[in-house]
Chain A
Amino acid sequence: MGCCYSTSKRTRTPGYEEPTVLASQTPFTVSEVEALHELYKKLSNSIIEDNLIHREEFQLALFRNRNKKNLFADRIFDLFDLKRNGVIEFGEFVRSLGLFHPNAPLEDKITFAFRLYDLKQTGFIERDELKEMVLALLHESDLELSDDMIESIVDKTFSDADINGDGKIDQEEWKAFVSKHPSLIRNMTLPYLKDITLAFPSFVVRTEVEE
């Protein structure tokens, strides 16, 4: 039967989770999760047709270039890949994007940004990590700064954020720093997600589940 075939076909997709479940655990409605599934199908079949987002497919979507190396895109991919099995499954995609929803708790956005910048995952943002990220940003942009200038920027930022002066930024210091500089997590909110079904109507093929 048509209805049952459609359901079983979706169930066989690795990592597929029911929109009703995902909607109950994220800021998205069921319709929005279904719209995200249409986007997910496109992204997850752009290079390897297996309904899973591989790193190269993520890079391709972000940069229109599958081979573009970018420290921050790698970090985002790793954080989205909650099971750490090298791919972003649909449930991981929706749950992670939920953090970028305008209605997601600010606290969650601040924590995600902290984990993003804690490159070595030590529970702290250290000075060498901050410098590595500044160098990575300069590498991808046209901005050229002398090493002295870079050191000066890193020193100033670090001394502003490292309140207790122990040489590393902990989560509490990060929260305090972000509260003084809220623009730091501006990129943690994607206004499109507020109503993805209206912003991307072509992704909404049909609503299979009653809201």
Chain B
Amino acid sequence: VAPATMNAFELISKSQGLNLSSLFEK
């Protein structure tokens, strides 16, 4: 993806720290 078209919030939302599905992994 060309940087100029990147959405900063879209980038941020991919943080592993925001992926709570990990809480449910056994």
Residues on A lying within 8 angstroms of B by beta carbon are 39, 43, 61-63, 70-76, 97, 100, 116-117, 130, 133-134, 136-137, 140-141, 143, 145, 149, 152-154, 156-158, 160-161, 177, 181, 183-187, 190, 192, 196, 199-200, 202
Contacts and interface: CB of A to CB of B under 8 A. Distances in A.
Interface residues of B, number: 22
B20 A190 contact: yes
A190 B13 contact: no
A72 B15 contact: yes
B26 to A, nearest CB: 8
A43 B23 contact: yes
Contacts of B17: 62, 70-76, 140
Contacts of B13: 183-187
Nearest to B14: A137
Interface of B: 3-4, 6-24, 26
B21 A192 contact: yes
Contacts of B6: 153, 156-157
A202 B25 CA distance: 12
Given A39-B24, A76-B20, A137-B14, A152 B9 contact: no
A136 B17 CA distance: 11
Contacts of B10: 181, 183-184
A61 B8 contact: no
A74 B3 CA distance: 27
A153 B6 CA distance: 6
Contacts of B18: 72-73, 76, 116, 187
A181 B7 contact: yes
Contacts of B26: 202
A199 B11 contact: no
A181 B8 CA distance: 12
A63 B14 CA distance: 14
